[in-house]
């Protein structure tokens, strides 16, 4: 316990990185809920729904952006519109110890990779890939597999996407 207290006391840069300046309240959560449903929602409509003025909503959104709670605003386009109708999850198994930064560098170079994370268990990482067709997916997986640190991959092609909350 003493170690934790001293850590937080003497490492303010890390403390600020891992602790928000102020906790979110119910109004912040309602604002985020509205923006999740429609990132283009205007402050007046959000304020009307939650009982705040548009300027108060803007100040809160600005604070949420500044402290990193809201990381970005984006548009969610159906991948099929971009011709990316094939999706797969690929387990990545590496030789020896490979840092997350090295894995990120490797995967950043493959445009078919739309998401990835290090995981516990047998695999070192799980990679979500999208491609135009099976052949393009196979070529992308092969580019990953040929990396010097990769021992092998294990792929599962998505047949039906059941839930997508991104």
Domain of residue 48: give its range. Answer: 22-75
Contacts for 61-70 with beta carbons within 8 Å, 24 or more apart?
61/31, 61/35, 63/22, 64/24, 64/28, 64/31, 64/32, 67/20, 67/21, 67/22, 68/20, 69/20, 69/24, 69/28, 69/32, 70/32, 70/35
For residues 90 and 29, membership in a common domain is answered with: no
Which residue in 128, 83, 136 sits closest to 107, CA to CA? Answer: 128
For residue 145, the domain's CATH number is 3.30.70.920
Question: Torsions phi, psi of 47, nearest 5?
Answer: -60, -40
Nearest 10 degrees: CA dihedral of 53, 55, 58, 59?
-110
For residues 107 and 40, membership in a common domain is answered with: no
For residues 69 and 97, membership in a common domain is answered with: no
pLDDT per residue as tens digits for the range 1-50: 434 433 444 444 444 444 445 688 999 999 999 999 899 999 999 999 99
| Residue 50 maps to a domain | yes
For residues 95 and 38, membership in a common domain is answered with: no
| Residue 104 maps to a domain | yes
For residues 93 and 132, membership in a common domain is answered with: yes
| Residue 10 maps to a domain | no
| pLDDT (0 to 100) of residue 83 | 85
Query: What number is the average pLDDT over the span 80-88?
Result: 89
CA distance 152 to 107: 15
Please, what sign has the CA dihedral across residues 166, 36, 41, 62? negative
For residues 83 and 122, membership in a common domain is answered with: yes
26-30, 80-84, 161-165: range with highest mean pLDDT: 26-30
CA distance 70 to 82: 26
pLDDT per residue as tens digits for the range 125-153: 999 999 999 999 999 999 999 999 999 99
For residue 61, the domain's CATH number is 1.10.10.10
| Residue 1 maps to a domain | no
For residues 66 and 108, membership in a common domain is answered with: no
DSSP 8-class letter at 120? S
For residues 88 and 56, membership in a common domain is answered with: no
For residues 32 and 66, membership in a common domain is answered with: yes
């Amino acid at each position: 316990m003493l170690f934790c207290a001293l850590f937080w006391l003497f490492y303010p840069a890390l403390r600020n990185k891992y602790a928000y300046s102020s906790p979110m309240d119910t109004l912040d959560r309602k604002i985020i809920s509205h923006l999740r449903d429609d990132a283009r929602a205007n402050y007046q409509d959000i304020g009307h729904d939650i009982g705040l003025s548009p300027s108060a909503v803007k100040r809160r959104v600005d604070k949420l952006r500044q402290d990193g709670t809201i990381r970005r605003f984006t548009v969610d386009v159906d991948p099929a519109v971009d011709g990316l109708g094939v999706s797969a999850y690929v387990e990545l198994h590496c030789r020896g110890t490979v840092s997350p930064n090295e894995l990120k560098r490797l995967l950043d170079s493959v445009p078919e990779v739309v998401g990835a994370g290090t995981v516990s268990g047998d695999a070192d990482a799980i990679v979500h890939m999208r491609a135009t067709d099976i052949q393009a997916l196979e070529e992308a997986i092969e580019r990953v597999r040929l990396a010097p640190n990769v021992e092998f991959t294990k792929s599962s092609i998505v047949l039906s996407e059941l839930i997508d909350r991104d």
